Structure 1
Amino acid sequence: MTVLAVIVPLILLCAIRRYQKMQYENRKPFPFMQLPQELRDMVYEHLIEDPVYPPPQLRLNHGSSLWMIPGLWSSSAASSRRLHTSNWIFLANKQVYKECMDVLCKRATFHLTVSPHNYKPSSSSSPPPPSPPHSEDKRLWNISPDTLKDLRTASLNLITTSAMLGVPDPRNMTSTDWTLARHVREELKQLVNVKNLTLDAKALGDPLWNPLWIWYHACQSFKTMGTSASNTSPTGPKLNRITFSLDTWSPGENYLARHGDEDKWTWFCMQGHGVGLDIGPEMTVREFCGKLYQECRICRPELESEEE
């Protein structure tokens, strides 16, 4: 009994000290910066989310200092307004911010939106000056030029109303003179390293006008971007695909896709079958409408028999 009375307290004391040591070691920060660069990049890649610009308006009592941290809000968060706390890693230190931004620009898709929320058409009937404003408060997306130069993948979402065309009668409008398109092309000219850039032209419903005009002018204004016909210096990036949609039900419009690095465009049906080559800058509204809704002979083989 005497031996047990001596040994048991010693065992308990050793167990307590071992537990305290383990608790102390668990409180030590993980040596993240001592990991190899490849492992740190894997962590960043797991945390990053596709950035959305402009970010959704904050409804909660969060500070506005994190509004423009890339990836703070994802596409799914636009409706739920859910704060993604994983992106606080950008605030760790300068080295982590630089490394994480590098992974973000190379791996994520930047969703750039133009809508009535971040673009207000001029009320003046006179045409604006040829050079769009460069002041920071009039930029569509608050993204630094250095970040834009590092992007690899981006999608441009053009959500427009009839007023955003800037003219009372779209029939008398020249696509290359569209103020909004010129403004967008001016900001996108910094995307010198982008590999994949798409455009979705969405027309907001209005019973007093035909959404075809938005689609037509968007197509004619942007498909020459990045080519010798561009009016910006540098010429900017080339689009890979142009799609057309409505905010309500749509019968299913064809879309445009580019032939690699060439300046030729091809029309495809919704199933990805080619339906014809694009006519080019000289395309009229009637010809555009014909290509937009041209029937696919693969999806509808009965068209061949009808012609025969």
Structure 2
Amino acid sequence: MNFALRVHRLRKTFKDVVAVDCLDLEVRPGECFGLLGPNGAGKTTTIEICEGITSSDSGDVEVLGMRWSEHADLLRQRLGIQLQETQLAEKLTVYETVRLFRSFFRQGPETAEVIALVQLEEKEKSRVGNLSGGQKQRLALACALVGDPELLFLDEPTTGLDPQARRQLWELIDRFKLDGRTILLTTHYMDEAERLCERVAIMDHGKTIALGTPRELIKSIGVEHMLEFSGGGSARALDTSVLCRLEGVRDVQAENGSVQMQVTELHRAVPALLNELGRQGIPLTELRTRSATLEDVFVTLTGRHLRDE
């Protein structure tokens, strides 16, 4: 199979820190591939090596069947890159900024067309310094799209945005996907990965610890639902070891007066829990259920939350 991106035994160290540790990745043409993990997992270092920004210590990287050491000029014409933090000249207008980036490429849509694509027509005469955070992110995406790229790198593109701005950016990414282009996306928002990505790789300490579709990874931990409840001050007296033996319960974790249970059969676990709480005399003050997510996969594999520092 031809891959849009292929990474083999990639390694990168900084002083005494191993940022990427013999990493293997393969991204298929036309898919949105998510690279997930907590801060410090090695996501940004990996994507910067793939973008040709950072050199690796060892390993091999093929981008669109080419290598940076041999085809740097050609690759720059065929890639779109949105960095984790894009610093644009604040005195330039939106139109001037997009026109400047468009001048770096031999082909691509017209400046006005790209501005319309990211829905900034009303702001094309506004200076960059006067844009909101969401508008700046859309402008950064426009700068990544001006060369009509075959492969788009997006490094945490929605970090710091409000929910409405995030969803607007998701819609723009969906439009890019519909054209059959390839996307490598890094994020620590699990709803974003489940919404946008066909496949995801979860990284931790520079290595891949899980790979597959979001549904495959969630299914792999053998848990369909998460059940969380609180019993107020009385919860401190709760014997959680008994809950582990309830029907349909796989694991129980208690923290800060709240109890979270990994459940395989919700319809059996909830009545069993209510009966046990009644038997122990624990009043139920709060009860929530939800489907298992990619974050639950990560916690199960590593014991840490994806957004932990």
TM-score by length of 2: 0.27
Compare CA radii of gyration and give the structure with the larger one: 1
As a proportion of its length, which structure holds more strand?
2
TM-score by length of 1: 0.27
Greater relative CO (CA pairs within 8 A, separation 6+): 2
